Each structure stands twice: as structure tokens, then as C-alpha cells.
Amino acid sequence: MKLTIIGTGYVGLVTGTCFAEVGHQVICVDNDAAKVKLLKGGGIPIYEPGLEELVKKNAAAGRLSFTESTMEGVQKSDVVFIAVPTPPQSDGSVDLSFIERVARDIAMAMTEYKVIVDKSTVPVKTGDKVAETIRRYCKAKVDFDVVSNPEFLREGFAVGDLMQPDRIVIGVRGQRPVAALIEIYEPFKAPIIVTDINSAELIKHAANSFLALKISYINAIAAICEAAGANVQEVAHGIGLDERIGRRFLNAGIGFGGSCFPKDLSAFIKIAEQIGYDFKLLKEVQIINADQMDRFVKKITDTLWVLKDKTIGVLGLAFKQNTDDIRSSPAIDLCQRLLKEGAKLRVHDPKAMEKAKAVLPNVTYVDDMNAVPDGCDALVIATEWEEFKKLDLDRAHKSLAHPIMFDGRNLFDPAEMEKRGWIYKSIGR
């Protein structure tokens, strides 16, 4: 099918590329001229495992192209996907100005029936507003359908998540656009749920909020484990084997972050408030998440006492492994807190250092993770990169002023670290 994706962020670029990979003809539209130039030249603006190779492959095959022109994208395609940002506002609600602007641009470009698919994460009833906007600005007065098709991509695993999805959700007002969406997704061989558009919009916020709740739950359990002398990993394993619960998202750490969970949680609380429900449960999830970082910083200050003029090594800047995304990253938050206390930082991340330089200008960036501990008073693990498990512990032990590690991601075994002579502080163990 002929498809257009408006927006080439994580969702738009991965979606468009994977659609092209299964044989669709895809135009990706972005109003950022520099980004479009980069993509046309074979580069990509984000790090996502496996994505760059697929972009180059499908662009070379002629199935994937890039343009700044919404007019071109709309007029050359049967189905138009909206995948633009929906950033949070100061009160927790969602800024829908990008969605509204794109809806107007689509409307003014339409000359025949189109299916308009909202893939951005939006509050319930946004589909109604998109439809109203298109009707208002479409001079040709042609027919169209607005569909909600939320994404469930995990950064760092997005290509695999799209190529082998758990489910595909399609929210519609009527049956006319359903056949087109089923045809688009047929190559992915996944269960397709067709529902009303309001339910589809709620599914995304409800899913992300539940996962955030699950993370905060295990972090609360971690605090109890520390007080009781238990091991949160053993507790998580024991409860995770219950198929009603499952083991995923039960890894204690320094809290969730990224561009989705904090934003979607705040948005869902605000959405509920606007329709008359006080979502106290999700407010507590936010509190637990904030408390988790407070507890971790207290571990550091309790052990090192005065942080002023101490040098601390930090491994990890991205909000999670396998991405260069530092938006709402707990690791960045931690670094900023340590800097505020007067500490000096030596930091390393496999992919996120260039982006981090814009928000952490006054730290020392180290290319080799094994060189980070050199001359430091302590070492902190802030992101769960697999390569950090291969850290040369013997070298680190010798190069630190004191063999102190604060493991915010529970990458190492406490008994083994103690045997090696480390002062080792982790989460819930």
C-alpha cells in the first residue's frame, strides 16, 4: 500500500521503515530540513538497534523516501499516519499543538478520500478533535476517516516490537477504514483488535500507566526488602513466576524515566481529572518513583558524607539500555543532583554522551568505561547496559580512591562483590 508517516522521531521512523520492510511504499515527512537531509543521505537522527541498516536497505530499494512536504505525502498516499510529538505541559496535560497543526496541513492537502491514522499517544477524544479540524480546513470537502492506532514500541527494542508485535489496536468510528488497516498489518501476523476510537486511545495510556505502576511496586518492595534484610530479586522471581503477574517490569532500580512513562502517567492522571475521576493510585506511583531516586542519593551521601569536591564516576546516561535517549533520564537526574552537591563527575555511556553534553556540560566524558573509575572516590551504575556487567572490577578496585560502588541497576552479585573487597550498595538487597 502507499503510506505516509508524518513525523520521523522514534515512532515515525521505526514505523515507516518497518512498513517499507514488509513491502509497503512509504513516504516519511518531517518539517525539520536538517533531519530530512540526514535521512536522505543515509544517516539517522537516533540510535535504535537494527534501524539504520533497515533505513538504508529500504531507501535503496525505493520503498522508503523522505520529504519536507506534507502536501506530497498526503497526495501520494492512501493512508496517512500522524506520528508527531505530544509533549507534556506544566500541569501534566498533553500539548496537542503538533497534532492540530498536522491535521490542518493534511486537510489542506486532501483532494480525495484518505484514512488518517493517529499513532501519536494522545488523550481520549483526540480523534474527535482531529476529525473536526480536518472537516473545518479541508477546502475540497472530501470524505475521510480518522483511526486510532496506538504504538507499543520499547526504545532499544523498537524494530523487533514492530516486526513481531503482541497485538495491533485499531480504533474506528465505522467499518470503512478497517480493511485498509488490516491489509497494512497483515504481514506482521499479530492479533488485531478492532474497537471504538475512544477505547483505542485509552488503551495506550492505560497500558503505560500499568507498567509504570508495576515498576513503582517493585521499587516499593525493594525499600521493604532493605529494611527487612531480604533480596528484592528473589522476591521478584518468586512473584513473577505467577502467570497472572509475570516477571517483566519487576526489576528494582532508581526509577522509571524516558519520553513515555512519566509523560503518559501525568497525562492519564490529568485525563481522568478532566472527566471527573481522581486517579489517586497513579499519583502514588509518581510519588514512589520520586522517592526511589531520593533513597538512592541518600545511600551515596550516607556513605561518602560530604559530596563537595568528591569525584564520582557514573556509568550510564541514557534512560535505559540500547538507546541514546536522555529525555527524563534518571541517570541525568542523578548526575544533576550530584553536581548540585558539589561533586565532580567522570561519566560514560555507550551511545548517549553526545546528547548528554547539552544538559551536562561541566562533567568529564570518558570514552572507555574501564577508565571512568580512575581517581574517583566512588563509582555509580545508573543505566542497565549489558556491557557494564563486563566492567574490569579488579582494575576499578585499584583505580578508585576507595572501592565503593553504588549499583542502581543491580548488575552485580552482592556476595561476590563483598568477597572481592568492595563496599557495595545496590537496590533492595
**Residues that are catalytic:** 260
Distance CA 258, CA 251 (A): 16
- DSSP 8-class letter at 94: B
- Nearest CA-CA partner of 221 in 182, 213, 181: 213
Query: What is the CB-side half-sphere exposure of residue 397 using CA atoms within 13 A?
Result: 11
Q: How far apart (Å, rounded) are the C-alpha atoms in residues 388 and 369?
A: 8
Residue among 361, 353, 371, 299 nearest 336 (CA)? 361
Cβ count within 10 A of residue 339: 16
What is the rounded CA–CA span in Å between residue 84 and residue 30? 9
Say if CB 108 and CB 100 are below 8 A apart: no
Nine-digit cell string for 121: 499517544
In angstroms, what CA-CA distances link 406 with 105, 227, 252, 295, 403?
50, 17, 14, 12, 10
Q: How far apart are CA 175 and CA 147, in angstroms?
A: 10
Return the closest-CA partner of residue 81 out of 24, 138, 32.
24
Cell 526504545 belongs to 155
Q: What are the strands, taking DSSP E only, across 37-120?
A: 64-67, 79-82, 114-118
DSSP string, 361-372: TTSEE-SSGGGT
* Cβ-based neighbours of 85, under 8 Å, separated by 6 or more: 7, 9, 98, 120
Assigned C-alpha cell, 175: 467499518
Of the candidates 9, 11, 15, 19, the residue with the CA atom closest to the CA atom of residue 39:
9
What are the beta bridge partners of residue 28? 5, 66
